């Protein structure tokens, strides 16, 4: 699942104002999730960034940590519980998402430099398994047209190969775009051109494509209002992203999906259909989102830590086992940094 907050101006996972971080991580593992996708911004990595919205009486071990120090704490805490971490560069700064992987404030050079810093920092740390290079390229982002300013496929190669040069063990997770010619889909969800113009990595076995998918509550897309809904959905998913796994081209991670309803309304029908499709096809996913979320609903329904048992029941059959705890380094933590 996803646990949001590090990408926001709070620079901390949501919920730490009311609960202890270790209790939260215990609950994640107990709920059956084995991987946490952690959205963050490049701004989090600045040495002067200080997390806020944390109750330090409940979280005394977090007091005084900067953003990167908090990220270290989460990584170590995940490792001790048998959880794995996917790092997701969700935004350049805490202000907003961007269409492209770079902005005037965070140029491509900084984006790649931050990724290689993280790859070096967690090299040899089995808890961190992958880099989701940039969240939801959309708008001006293209795929396979060789325009260096907009071709997301080429940018993913530049960043992915820079990471693999210093840490060849990470998965390089590449999302889709929004537009491929006249073919439109969700932000980050359109991988229809990836077979014809694949991402070329120095370690091709590390490539994982990733799509995001949402339902009627997010937007009234045409395929969600079609007369043959929901029977049309498997074909829609196959044409945009599922074919890559179904045809043995490359693994696919559905990095975000979620919704409030799992009932008989259109949103619930869509969500149950997608979960069934993922389970039957053996797709990996990270559900959006762990924390209570006013936009799309969360797995936690309140700050007390009450879980949406109906959603857990729906996801349970597709959950994979925990991957096992990682022994700490001599320095007292998995990363070798004392916390």
Which residues are designated catalytic? 136, 256
Q: How many CB atoms lie within 10 A of CB 73?
A: 21
Distance CA 294, CA 290 (A): 12
Residue 16's nearest CA partner among 256, 291, 289, 287 is 291
Distance CA 211, CA 326 (A): 29
Only one residue has tokens 């990836």, namely 194
Distance CA 301, CA 293 (A): 8
- Cβ pair 88, 118 in contact under 8 A: no
Supply φ then ψ for residue 280, to 5 degrees. -65, -35
Which positions ≥6 away from 294 have C-beta within 8 Å? none
- Give the end-to-end CA distance of the chain in Å, rounded to a whole number: 25
Look up residue 93 and give its two tokens.
């700064």
Q: Residue 197 — left, alpha, or beta (φ > 0 → left; ψ -120 to 50 → alpha)?
A: beta
Give SS3 for 158: helix
CA distances from 290 to 28, 37, 86, 107, 128 (A): 8, 10, 14, 31, 19
Beta strands in 176-258 (DSSP E): 179-180, 183-184, 207-212, 252-256
């Amino acid at each position: 699942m996803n646990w949001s907050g590090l990408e926001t101006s709070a620079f901390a996972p949501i919920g730490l104002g009311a609960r202890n971080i270790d209790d939260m991580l215990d609950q994640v593992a107990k709920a059956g999730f084995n991987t946490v996708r952690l959205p963050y911004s490049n701004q989090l990595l600045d040495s002067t960034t200080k997390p806020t919205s944390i109750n330090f009486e409940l979280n005394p071990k977090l007091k005084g940590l900067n953003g990167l120090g908090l990220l270290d704490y989460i990584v170590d805490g995940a490792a001790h519980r048998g959880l794995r971490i996917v790092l997701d560069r969700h935004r350049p700064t805490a202000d907003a998402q961007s269409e492209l992987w770079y902005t005037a404030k965070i140029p491509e050079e900084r984006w790649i430099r931050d990724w290689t810093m993280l790859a070096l920092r967690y090299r040899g740390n089995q808890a961190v398994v992958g880099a989701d290079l940039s969240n939801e390229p959309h708008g001006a982002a293209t795929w396979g047209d060789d325009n260096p300013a907009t071709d997301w496929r080429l940018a993913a190669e530049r960043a992915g190969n820079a990471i693999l040069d210093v840490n060849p063990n990470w998965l390089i997770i590449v999302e889709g775009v929004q537009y491929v010619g006249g073919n439109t889909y969700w932000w980050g969800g359109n991988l229809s051109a990836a077979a014809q113009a694949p991402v070329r990595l120095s370690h091709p076995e590390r490539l994982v494509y990733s799509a995001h998918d949402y339902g009627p509550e997010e937007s009234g897309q045409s395929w969600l209002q079609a007369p043959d809904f929901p029977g049309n959905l498997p074909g829609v998913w196959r044409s945009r992203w599922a074919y890559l796994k179904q045809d043995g081209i490359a693994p696919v991670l559905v990095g975000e999906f979620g919704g409030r309803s799992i009932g008989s309304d259109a949103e619930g029908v869509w969500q149950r259909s997608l979960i069934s499709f993922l389970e039957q096809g053996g797709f990996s996913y990270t559900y959006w989102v762990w924390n209570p979320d006013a936009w799309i609903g969360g797995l936690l329904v309140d700050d007390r830590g009450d879980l949406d048992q109906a959603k857990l029941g729906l996801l349970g059959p597709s959950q994979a086992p925990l991957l096992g705890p990682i022994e700490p380094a001599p320095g007292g933590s998995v990363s070798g940094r004392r916390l």
